[in-house]
Amino acid sequence: MPPEPPPPALRLIIDREALAANWRALNALSGRASAGAAVKADAYGLGAAIAVPVLRDAGCRDFFVAHWGEAASVAPLAAPGTVAVLHGPLSPADCAFARALGVRPVINSLHQARLWRDAGGGPCHAMVDTGINRLGLSLADLADPLVAGLEIDALLSHLASAEEDSPLNAVQLARWQEARRMVPHARASLANSAGIALGADYHGDLTRPGIALYGGVPCGALAPHIRQVVRPEAAIIQVRQLAAGDGAGYNATFIAPAAMRVGLISIGYADGYLRCWSGKGTMRSADGAALPVLGRVSMDMTIIDLTAAPHLREGDWVSADYALPEASAISGLSQYELLTLLGRRFQR
C-alpha cells in the first residue's frame, strides 16, 4: 500500500462554535418555530460530515438536502426521519431508497405524489409553489385527491425575494397561508435565512436557514446575529524577489513599481479562489498584516505582496480575507458562490 499523503498546503478553518452559535441565534429569532438547517451541497461547501453533527448537537432536528446521494451521507449523522430530500422522487427506486434510509421525500408534483403513493406512502413533506416558479405543487394541484392522500409532515414553500423589501413577500405569504388551509399537515415552513427576519407571520412551525448558518448575511437585520464560520488558509510555497519593472503572473498584469518581496501561495481558481480576486484579494499573516494579491490568480497558485510581513518564509501560512458580505462586495461573487466553490483540495 502507498503511504498516506502529507497534509495539503491548503486548509479550510471552520469555526464550529460560530456555526453552532449561528444556528442558536436563528432558532431564537424564529420565535415559536424551530430552525432546521439546509445542508445541501455538502453543507454549502463546509463538509456535511463536519457541519451536521455540530448543528445536531446544538439542537437542530430538521436537515434538508437536494439530492438522494446527499441523503445517503447525511442520514447516518442525524436521527431517523429528520433528513428531507428537496428534489423529491423521480423513480420507484428513489422511493424505495427513501423508505429504506428513513428520510422524507419532498413531494413537488402530482407525478411525485403518485410515485410515493404507489411505493406505499408514509410520512413526507410537500412543497407548494407560491410565486418563485421553481419546484412545487401549484395551488390548483392541492385539490387533487393524490395530495389529499399524502401523509404530510411539513408543508413547505420558498420565498423568492426575502432579502428585499419586495411586495412578492406578502403575496407569497398569503398564498402559503391559503395552502395551509387547503391541505392537512403537521407543520408548515416558509422562511429561509432572510425570511426569518420578516417576522412571526413568516415563521410557521419550522424555518429553514441556509446561508446565514455558515456566516452569510443576506439582509441587514441579521448582521448583528451572525458570526464568520469559514476562513481559507494557504501555505507559502516560494518566496521571490522582484526588481522594479518585473512582471508577475500570467500576462504580467502586475508590474513591480520598485524592488519588492513576494510569495507564491498554494491556492488558485481550481480551489474556488477565482480570477475575480486578481488584484483585489487580500491575505493576512498570523499577526494581521495585509498581504495584497498581485497580478492574475492562476489555477493552483496566487502571488501576494510580502512587504508588510518581512518575517514570512516558505512553509508559513496566510489566511484569506473571507468574511462573506465583504468578500462578496469585493469579488462580485454571491455569498453562496463564495462558499460552494471551495474545492476538494482544502483540508477541512
Q: How far apart are CA 189 and CA 202, in angstroms?
A: 8
Q: How far apart are CA 339 and CA 193, in angstroms?
A: 16
Residues 6+ apart with CB under 8 A from 149: 113, 117, 121
Q: Which of 44, 202, 250, 269 is catalytic?
A: 250
Q: How far apart are CA 255 and CA 205, in angstroms?
A: 58
| Joined grid coordinates for residue 175 | 398564498
Whether 250 sits among the annotated catalytic residues: the reply is yes
Q: How far apart are CA 23 and CA 197, in angstroms?
A: 14
Taking alpha carbons only, the member of 190, 191, 197, 233 closest to residue 217 is: 197
Helical (H) or strand (E) element with 153: strand 151-156
Helical (H) or strand (E) element with 171: helix 167-182
Q: How far apart are CA 18 and CA 34, in angstroms?
A: 19
Q: How far apart are CA 185 and CA 328, in angstroms?
A: 39
Whether 40 sits among the annotated catalytic residues: the reply is yes
Q: Which of 40, 202, 269, 273 is catalytic?
A: 40
Q: How far apart are CA 64 and CA 83, in angstroms?
A: 6
Q: Just list the catalytic residues.
A: 40, 250
